[in-house]
Structure 1
């Protein structure tokens, strides 16, 4: 039997926790369920992460990094409409092929909202930082156009809502969704 390093085990916990948190959210997921999915004891889990909150933050950060990476890789060397379409298609593919990424994003927003309302700002600080990195990953290939970036991100949130509601691909609600997010022609507005 091959033994995993602590870093490999930590990575397996992040993957397992992503699935569990995506399904049950922060408040509805037990560390016992995560430990069981990974095949480790709860005490070992807490050697890798000091708390459930630290685990959730690591998973939320990974989720946002994965989306940012999709935007960066799909738009590499592209600008304007080409970048917009490449990022939109890549994101649609990501949430279709890995629905736990969409579910996790939605759980992140719910958790941040609840934590902020309760006066706990740690979730919000991390998520706002990650979301600004997403913004920048879109903003640059769209030529620094504020309107285009805002529209792209707004349409992305609509995509999240439509996908979460289960609208199948090909449904009329998907037609031309990203056309309204086109960057403006002329000098950058940003």
Structure 2
């Protein structure tokens, strides 16, 4: 006999499904019916767990930020200074490669925050916490934390645009090499003169 799933377990499943669905459709383009169906619950049951679609989006956004923070914290564990920063940078690239929904959902969160005060407040709180945590884990100065965070945002853009950059290579060098080697065909398609389409 299998035990029944608790409301807390169902709630976790709904949040995970919401991250995946909102990552694709964003807030406006994702229905709660699709999320409920993905989990195998009814819409009325979903609304017992989350009073509104907005509450579910905010819970999913919080989960997205928390997962990234947890991965960075684990990467920095036992390290300090530049070693911690390098480990976190490598881990963040891996997270984006292994969990593409987290990148897609981050981008949806940023888009939603432009016109939604609740999402903007959540992002404000989570970014402030991450900044404080980065300082604590690494001992880095504010300018170094800013460079790390800016590098992470650049990696988001590069990943979204499918710009090739090496996991083991220094980012500035690999990007410089890529940009200087890129050419454009007459129809606007990028190609690598050394080896076909990009």
TM-score, with structure 2 as normaliser: 0.82
Partner residue in 2 for 1:53 = 54
Contact 1:22 1:107 in 2 (8 A): yes
After TM superposition, the structure 1 stretch with the greater mean CA deviation from structure 2, 128-137 or 62-71, is: 128-137
Confirm or deny: 8 A CA contact 2:76 2:84 kept in the other structure: yes
Report the equivalent of 2:137: 141
Looking at structure 2, the residues matched to 161 and 88 of structure 1 have their Cα atoms a distance apart, in angstroms, of 15
Measured against aligned partners, the alpha-carbon deviations of 1:55-109 in whole angstroms (never above 9, x if no partner) come to 0000000110111111111101211110011000111111100110111111110
Structure 2: where are the runs of 5+ without partners?
Answer: 174-198
Q: Which moved more, 1:3-12 or 1:141-150?
A: 141-150
**Corresponding position of 1:100:** 101
RMSD of aligned Cα (Å): 1.8
Give the paired residue count: 172
Q: Determine whether 1:152 maps to 2:153.
A: no
Contact 1:67 1:134 in 2 (8 A): no
Structure 1 residue 15, shift from structure 2 partner: 0.6
Question: Which residue of the partner structure matches residue 6 of structure 1?
Answer: 7
Q: List, as ranges, runs of 4+ consecutive aligned residues in structure 1 with deviation greater than 6 Å.
A: none
**Which structure exhibits the higher relative contact order, with contacts defined as CA atoms closer than 8 Å and separated by 6 or more residues?**
1
- TM-aligned CA deviation for residue 127 of structure 1: 1.4
Residue of structure 2 in register with 1:36 after alignment: 37
What's the TM-score once normalised by structure 1's chain length? 0.85
Does the aligned pair in 1 maintain the 2:165–2:171 contact within 8 Å? no
Alignment of 1:1-190 (within 5 A): 1-115=2-116, 121-170=117-166, 175-177=169-171
3-state SS of the aligned residue for 1:125? helix
Q: Which residue of 2 aligns with 1:186?
A: none
Q: Distance in 2 between matches of 1:166 and 1:8?
A: 35
